């Protein structure tokens, strides 16, 4: 074999190894699709937007590792799509769909919520235009972020940043946008690590 032929063979080998390594890494990163958790259709019209920022929320409720992510998303959608009572006694008006674009459960599983091309919803007053809303399960004013949740959050942010050309420098906590303690101190103080 000539030197050129050997060089070409080596380049092809390294290229195919690189491609297979990328594929295996992508296999490990899975987002449960809406149809996988039996999402219902939106119940009203939603506003289109261009994803430009990443905003982190917490559910503000105790972690429930015993429930599947499918059950959690179905319950969240049921709550979201009707007038529902809030903890303070007020009534939340119905939204078209789940308010968040992505949900990270206690076991680190990630599920697609609202289609990312539609603006999310919030109980607080801020301009949601362009914000990709990620909610992490738990009350992080009282609970710790679980290691598997943190790893999934990092992977999800890398995916969103790459897929939608959004700089990680745009990452903020809900409290940076509105008057709230969300996403809780125990995750908020770590957000700078994601930038």
pLDDT at residue 29 in the model = 81
User: Do the Cβ atoms of 120 and 40 come closer than 8 Å?
Assistant: no
| pLDDT exceeds 60 at position 158 | yes
Q: Could you state, in order of their start, the residue ranges of all structural domains in the chain? A: 1-30, 33-194
Tell me the three state secondary structure of residue 20. Answer: helix
Task: Give the architecture (CATH level 2) of 33-194.
Answer: 3-Layer(aba) Sandwich (3.40)
Choose the weakest-confidence range: 8-12, 163-167, 177-181. 8-12
How far apart are alpha carbons 168 and 191 in whole angstroms? 10
Tokens 């076991």 identify what position? Answer: 107
- Look at residues 81, 2, 54 and name the one whose alpha carbon lies nearest to residue 165: 54
How far apart are alpha carbons 131 and 118 in whole angstroms? 10
| pLDDT exceeds 60 at position 148 | yes
pLDDT at residue 138 in the model = 98
| pLDDT exceeds 90 at position 190 | yes
Peptide bond connecting 183 to the previous residue in cis, omega within 30 degrees of 0? yes
pLDDT confidence band for 25 (50 / 70 / 90)? very low
pTM over 0.95: no
pLDDT at residue 23 in the model = 34
**What average pLDDT does range 3-26 have in this prediction?**
36
Q: 121-142, pLDDT tens digit by residue?
A: 999 999 999 999 999 999 999 9
**What average pLDDT does range 94-115 have in this prediction?**
98
pLDDT at residue 61 in the model = 94
């Amino acid at each position: 074999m000539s030197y050129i032929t050997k060089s070409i063979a080596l380049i092809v080998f390294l290229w195919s190894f690189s491609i297979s390594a990328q594929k295996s890494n992508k296999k490990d990163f899975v987002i449960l699709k809406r149809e996988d958790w039996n999402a219902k259709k939106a119940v009203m019209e939603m506003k289109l937007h261009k994803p430009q920022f990443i905003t982190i929320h917490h559910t503000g409720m105790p972690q429930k590792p015993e429930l599947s992510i499918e059950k959690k998303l179905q319950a969240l959608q049921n709550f979201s799509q009707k007038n529902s009572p809030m903890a303070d006694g007020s009534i939340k008006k119905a939204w078209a769909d789940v308010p968040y674009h992505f949900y990270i459960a206690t076991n680190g599983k990630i599920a697609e919520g609202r289609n990312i091309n539609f603006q999310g919803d919030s109980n607080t007053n801020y301009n949601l235009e362009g914000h990709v809303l990620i909610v992490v399960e738990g009350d992080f004013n009282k609970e710790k972020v679980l290691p598997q949740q943190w790893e999934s959050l990092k992977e999800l942010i890398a995916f969103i940043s790459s897929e939608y050309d959004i700089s990680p420098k745009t990452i903020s906590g809900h409290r940076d946008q509105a008057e709230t303690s969300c996403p809780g101190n125990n995750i908020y103080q770590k957000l700078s690590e994601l930038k």
